[in-house]
Chains A and B, each alone.
Chain A
Amino acid sequence: MKRLRNLIDKSYTALAACSFFILVLPLLHIIGSIIINGLKRFDLELITSPPKSLLSAGGGILHAIVGTAMVVFVAMIISLPIGFLTGIYLAEFARGKLAQIIRALITTIAGIPSIIVGVFAYTIIVVVYGFSVLAGGFALGFISIPYVVRSTEEALKAVPIEIKEAGFSLGIPRWKVILFIDVGYAKSRIIAGFLLALARVIGETAPLIVTILGGINIPSGLFSPANAIPLVIYQYALSPFKAWHDIAWSAALLLLIIALVMNLGVRYYLKIKAIYY
């Protein structure tokens, strides 16, 4: 009996180890294959020049880098104020039914598949202004709102009550206490949350397919079509040409570096836990 129980224990240990490695080995394989395949075209041309033409293989992905920067910038302009204020509301003022509704809504938004957010952006922006940086930025901004809200809320809730009370005891009005004392105290964590939200959307592809169109031109403004690094990876991966596959891998390496540096950098530097919804 004792031996059987030990056997079960040992075999479960083995199975557990197996499942962990089943999970980790593909990760290593992904990182390895992206480095190996990506280094072929990981040169200066990749990041300094746009594609030569729609049909030839030369050139880089400058148009996509500029596009990603513009789309993410628009996204942050949309999501930071709304997310920051809603975070303050949930941390400091939330009471009653309205607060419950808003809280449930934030979780709901986080769970909406990103492609549908893209379709939403299509129905209210692309239909009016055409495929544009604005539409893509709106979609990504919408997606990142819950992450900004959650990180702001948790950063503010972690402020020690004594610090707030010190402010109140000096007769400072509540909004000043929150904006200048609480937010000041929680500053680094709030900024870290912003960066994590940015990292969360920088690799988003699906909503961009239906909002910014792609193409090989460097976007000239808010209302012009654009391309983005993840979108280039998708389009080039589906193409039949080997040279474009190489560019897709190199773009993937670039995107992976950006995403991992932002994620790990912020989380290790500031000791912040990953946010799941």
Chain B
Amino acid sequence: MSILTKVRKWFLRFDPLGSISAFSGVFLVVLIAVFIAALLYHSAPVFEKFGLNFITGGTWNPMKDIYGALPFIWGTFITSAIAIVLAVVLSYGAAYFIVEIAPLKLREFLSSIVELIVAIPSVIIGLWGMFYVVPFVRDTLKSILSPLSSIPLFGGTTSGYSYMAAIIVLTFMITPISTSFIKNAMESVPIELKEAAYALGATKYEVFRIVSRPLARRSALAGVVLAYGRAIGETMAVVMVIGNSPTISISLFNPGYTLAAVIANEFLEATTTLHVSALIALGAILLAWSLIVNILAAFVLRLVRAQ
């Protein structure tokens, strides 16, 4: 093939929109690279000073320029872990209710009510949390759980601003996401399979346990991973109720802090370069955490689509 034909062919196949649109995709790749580079560049000073002790250090004292990320890592871990467990339980129940129990005519309406929760800006949920969830934790929940106060997890006194309040708002915010995934997966279970189980005399719950739940498992997992990602990164609703104390406590009734919350709360007050750098480094840790979760989510989603 002569060069001329090659050029001719290239011109015939060339499409301006194809190149322009591919370019905007490549631009996104570059932007993400800049993103990661910028975070790493700005968090370098604190890692230079403290090394890996920055991650394992338990003291955070901006006055003395001592920075350790462990209180925030702990707070993010404990709040998101408990919230996701509660969310899984609630969302299976809610999805079962919407798909199997509620009348067919109401199904769309009920699921859109649940999806409405996602549309509420998180600062509004934080405002509500400050004025209603925090007093609820202080006055009601603490006394309900007082028989359990010998367990360290529920011990101590509380001002209401606590891990517990954060867990409550987080659970409320992320449950709709996993519910939506589970609900969609349950709806797409072939009716014949369910009818076959009913024909054998199975009850509704048994059909769910034997047919729907196993078939919906992968999609449910994808939804749960996404919900978890949302839980670790949620900022506003958490910063307004968690009490903002850079300490590590076992009791859920004690105040704490999360990675996202401390960035939002201290960023404008940070005066020294090292303090800003430490906050950006916390952002880098959170980014790494959420990227791992996201890669996991993408992997699971691919399995679901291949199914």
Contact = CB atoms under 8 A, between A and B. Distances in A.
Interface string A202-218: 11111001100100000
B125 to A, nearest CB: 7
Contacts of B198: none
A133 interface: no
A75 to B, nearest CB: 15
Interface stretch (A48-56, A84-92, A162-170, A185-193): A84-92
Given A85-B24, A115-B235, A23 B294 contact: no
A114 B235 contact: yes
Contact of B39 (A108, A123, A260): A123
B264 A115 contact: yes
B293 interface: yes
Nearest to A145: B28
Contact of B235 (A101, A206, A260): A206
B294 A111 contact: yes
Interface string A230-248: 1001100110000001001
B100 to A, nearest CB: 8
Contacts of B295: 108
A89 B97 CA distance: 40
Chain A interface category by residue count: 35 or more
Interface string B95-121: 011101100000000101111111111
B110 A20 contact: yes
Interface string A25-49: 0110110011001000000000000
A77 interface: no
Given A33-B128, A115-B235, A276-B177, A16 B94 contact: yes
Contacts, number: 265
A16 B96 contact: yes
Interface residues of B, number: 93
B280 interface: yes
Given A88-B17, A175-B17, A101 B29 contact: yes
A116 B32 contact: no
Given A13-B101, A210-B264, A256-B121, A173 B25 contact: no
A210 B286 contact: no
A18 B92 CA distance: 11
A237 to B, nearest CB: 5
Contact of A6 (B27, B112, B203, B263): B203
B179 interface: yes
Contact of B226 (A13, A206, A255, A277): A277
Contacts of A203: 120-124
Q: Which of A109, A175, A259 has the most CB of B within 10 A?
A: A175
Interface of A: 5-6, 8-9, 12-13, 15-20, 22-24, 26-27, 29-30, 33-34, 37, 81-82, 85-86, 88-90, 92-93, 98-99, 101-102, 104-109, 111-116, 119-120, 122-124, 142, 145, 173-175, 178-179, 199, 202-206, 209-210, 213, 230, 233-234, 237-238, 245, 248-249, 252, 255-256, 259-260, 263-264, 267, 274, 276-277
Instruction: Rank and list the top 8 A-B pairs by shortest CB-CB distance, nearest first.
Output: A203-B121, A113-B233, A19-B93, A175-B17, A89-B21, A206-B235, A85-B24, A9-B203
Interface of B: 15-18, 20-29, 31-32, 34-35, 38-39, 41-42, 89-94, 96-98, 100-101, 110, 112-128, 130-132, 172, 175-177, 179-181, 203-206, 208, 223, 226, 229, 232-236, 240, 260, 263-264, 267-268, 279-280, 283, 286-287, 290-291, 293-295, 297-298, 301
Given A30-B125, A237-B127, 7 more contacts: A104-B298, A105-B29, A116-B260, A123-B41, A210-B263, A233-B127, A264-B116
16 contacts: A17-B93, A23-B172, A27-B113, A85-B23, A86-B21, A93-B21, A101-B29, A107-B294, A107-B298, A108-B295, A112-B290, A112-B294, A114-B235, A204-B121, A274-B115, A276-B223
